[in-house]
Amino acid sequence: MIAACNISKNFNSHRAVDNVSFEVGKGEVMVLLGTSGCGKTTTLKMINRLIEPSSGQIWVNGQDIRTVKPEVLRRSIGYVSQNNGLFPHYTVAENVAVVPELLKWDKEKIRSKTKSILAQLLLPYDTFGNKMPDELSGGQQQRVSIARALVTDPPVILMDEPFGALDPVTRAEIRKEFSQLIKVAGKTIILVTHDVTEAFELGDQICLMDQGKFVQTGTPKDLLFHPENEFVSSFLEKQQLQLEWNHIRLCDIWYSLPPAQSNTRANEISETTTIWITMDMLTKENITALDIRNKMGETRRASVADILEGYRKIKLKNG
């Protein structure tokens, strides 16, 4: 769906992006992760030609982007920025309808699609459609920005720190809503963030960047359990345990868990539950153990000690 080959960008004598290549398949989420100034936003903006590459090639849906007029390309790609980019003199409905208007959709189609996408983002049209951006909270403004990116049903969406300006609670809520929405929609997404938790929560693959280069590209588990160098290890070090526990599910440690003691379904959870959530349940609810049921109907028992033993074995297996 999106491919880049040896793309670079120079600003005078400074090379902001240095010979990077990547592929993102249909329905995948790729995250560009790194500190400020590492080149991730520049990389993103080259895809819709907000910034022109100094060298290299980029294809979207098999088409070389250089063969498409920039304004035509941008109308076919959803785009969400950190500052939401809403027009302050437009209502919520008018902001969402900007691209459909440019594409000359008929009025009824615009209204129908606008109502539908706002409802999916918990902004009922009758309540919010005629409000101005300054009447909304930060979280609501960002929901409108996401709605605008999704309303024409583009196959590709680019997102530049889309949740970065929000408070932690609102950011987590909108991230969860967005994650559920894109799973259903099957969009191909490239998302820029400096937030490690966000990257690992949303990304199918993560490109960790430093000084304009890709330091490592892989799945979240690749970066966690098979870091390619010291930079990757040190970048993730402070959140390593939580990230690992959020990516190890009970089914991953199934054979380290003892059989359940009874056939009751009290305190039973799914095998797909992460060990982070399971440990949180055990400690917060002061439960000795939980029963886990897999797809075959088999049950196992998980205590804190059982989970820690399973985690230890996974760490040993992954070196």
Chain segment 96-111, per-residue pLDDT in tens: 999 999 999 999 999 9
* 20 close to 213: Cβ distance less than 8 angstroms: yes
DSSP 256: G
Give CA torsion, residues 317, 297, 280, 178, to 10 deg: 90
Assign 264 a pLDDT band (cuts: 50, 70, 90).
Answer: low
Of 49, 46, 44, 54, residue with least CA distance to 10: 54
Distance between start and end Cα atoms, the chain: 34
DSSP 25: -
pLDDT in tens, 179-194: 777 766 788 999 999 9
| 156 DSSP β-pair partners | 77, 188
pLDDT in tens, 57-108: 999 999 999 999 999 999 899 999 888 789 999 999 999 999 999 999 999 9
What span, in angstroms and rounded, lies between the C-alpha atoms of 208 and 218? Answer: 9
Q: What is the mean pLDDT of the chain?
A: 91
Question: Can you tell me whether residue 23 is helix, strand or coil?
Answer: strand
Cα 125–chain centre separation: 26
pTM > 0.75: yes or no? yes
Angle at 119 between CA 117 and CA 124, to 5 degrees: 125
What span, in angstroms and rounded, lies between the C-alpha atoms of 13 and 251? Answer: 51
What is the rounded average pLDDT of the residues 300-308? Answer: 93
Residue 119: CB atoms within 10 A of its CB come to: 14
**pLDDT score of 171:** 81
